[in-house]
Chains A and B, each alone.
Chain A
């Protein structure tokens, strides 16, 4: 299931009334990222780099969190609250498609949930 088609995610909402192609278009519009996102493999591990307003933010994912990402993605798709934890990194999804919360001991980043972000998470697990 593609989370952003919203078919199974919100089966009883008004979106279910619309034709699939229109739903797809709407969700692409709503979930369009307003930042750039890149996945790369660094010596210290898989890395997600987010760029916006001149700020570049790289998050290194410890190995013990990578294996938990598929479950996180599944829960996001089903709109279920989920927190996964690895060494010095915690990722939380609180539902309602608002944001992804990434916490390290000295920082906290809130990233709007958008299609490219989900795609990037899936790509991370393939590295």
Chain B
């Protein structure tokens, strides 16, 4: 299922009345990320880079977040994606990372040692999680 077509995700909403192509356009507009995401997959752990600058290597031109997702700490990525697709809240507790999706497509909450991060839920973020999950299979 394509989460952002919103067909199955919110079957009772006004989205259902609209033609599929219009729905697709609307969600592409709403769920466009206004930041960049990249993933890296070295052997020991996977990393998600989120940056507000144009290029990952531009120094001093924007904020750059790197989140380390170890397989051991977040084994349940598949479940997280499934629940986000259904718009249902889910909480994943890993050994050193905690991810919460509270529904309503607002943001993804990531908590770890000394940091808390709210990332707006957008299409590329979901795609990144899906891609990470593929790596793990």
Contact = CB atoms under 8 A, between A and B. Distances in A.
Contacts of A34: 62
By size class, the interface of chain B is 20 to 34
Nearest to B49: A108
Contacts, number: 96
Contacts of A89: 113-114
The interface residues of chain B, by DSSP majority, are classed as strand
Interface in B100-115: 107, 112-115
A106 B96 contact: yes
A121 B68 CA distance: 25
Contacts of B39: none
Contact of B35 (A54, A58, A106, A109): A54
B109 to A, nearest CB: 9
Interface string B16-60: 000000000000000000110000000000000010100000011
